[in-house]
Homo-oligomer: A and B are copies of this chain.
C-alpha cells in the first residue's frame, strides 16, 4: 500500500478547441506529466513520490495546473522547463516554488515549505 510522501496531480483535461478558458492538455500538460514521471523514476523515487494524471482541476485559465499533496500547493502555467526546479526544490527539499504558485492560497497559512523528502534506500544491484 503506497504512502506517498508527495503525490503530484497534473491536470490533463481536454476542452473543445475554441473554449475561451483553454485547457491544460492544449497547453502541454501531457508533456509536463511525462517529464515529471521520467525524472522521478530516474531519481529512484518510485514508491516515495507519484505523478498522476488528474481530470479538470478547475483552474483552466492558468493551466497547466499542478497540485502537490499532502501539502496542497497549487501551481499554474507549469511547463516542461519548470519540472527540474519543481522536483529539486519542492519534491526533494520541501521548498515551494513561489514563482509558479497560484495566488491566494489561504489554506497554506503563509507556509512556504514542508519537510524534505526522506529518500528511499537505493536498491541493491
Task: Determine the chain B residues whose CB is within 8 A of the CB of A2 once the complex forms.
Answer: 58-59, 74
Contact assessment for B54 and A106 in the assembled complex, using a CB-CB cutoff below 8 Å? no
- The 8 sampled A-B contact pairs (Cβ below 8 Å) are A1-B104, A4-B72, A9-B52, A9-B54, A52-B54, A52-B56, A53-B54, A70-B70
Which of B69, B103, B105 contacts A69, CB < 8 Å?
B69
Give the dominant DSSP class at A's interface. loop
**Oligomer: number of copies:** 2
Binding site for B on A (CB under 8 A): 1-4, 7, 9, 12, 50, 52-59, 67, 69-72, 74, 102-108
List residues of chain B with CB within 8 A of the CB of A56.
52-53
